[in-house]
Amino acid sequence: MDIFKYGQIELNHLKKKDKKLGVAIERIGMIERKVTPDLFAALVNSIVGQQISMKAADTVWNRMKERIGEITPQSIVAATAGEIQKCGLSMRKAGYIKGIGDAVAQGELDIAEFPELPDSDIIKRLSSLNGIGVWTAEMLMIFSMERPDVLSWGDLAIRRGMTNLYSLKKLDKAKFERYRKRYSPYGSVASLYLWELSSDSSAGHLVNLSETLCDEGEISE
């Protein structure tokens, strides 16, 4: 299984820049999150998984591979929308998947050049596709391309993780951006820990402990 790769360089930077996050990192330890290096397959899978459970998405994905074979631009182009729908998808989702396959196969979307593009251009190109929004593009950048500095304002769990970690009554975009700049250039690693903290009942204790250890790292309110 491929996992998002990071190590002590990223962790040491985050610990140095943010003492509270550093305490969380020490307690949680290393996090393993699966990645899908095949960007096209990840694009299609992102459509499959929208608004359904992980279990249901896995079932549909396995049906697609059984019916269509390996998920490539060519196999999607060769399949009809009806065939894709029969795997357990709505016709709208089937249409999105066909549109992505056509765009890549016809060269309208050249994913081979993505490694050379800045994050902003990748988000712009991916989110121009029907069925792919900014948040989905950001998740693809993390969990397919392993881009190092992605922290999504549109991800409610990340915002909840920040709120828990820093005991915030509210989190506006300006404050979020200040934390994002603090984590940079390793925002994707910070995202992994904020996701863990989004449902962490001990986050409040974690904040108190980090304040005791060192409070000079906190952003002033």
Residues of the chain within CATH 1.10.1670 domain(s) are: 8-33+151-213
DSSP 34: B
**Among candidate residues 64, 10, 67, the one with its CA nearest the CA of residue 41:** 64
pTM score, whole prediction: 0.86
According to CATH, the superfamily of the domain at 39-143 is Hypothetical protein; domain 2 (1.10.340.30)
pLDDT in tens, 61-94: 999 999 999 999 999 999 999 999 999 999 999 9
pLDDT in tens, 107-120: 999 999 999 999 99
**Among candidate residues 67, 66, 35, the one with its CA nearest the CA of residue 146:** 35
Residues of the chain within CATH 1.10.340.30 domain(s) are: 39-143
What length is written for the chain?
Answer: 221
Question: Quick one: CA torsion of 96, 98, 100, 106, rounded to 10 degrees?
Answer: -150
pLDDT at 202 over 70: no
CA dihedral for 102, 50, 2, 31, sign (positive or negative): positive
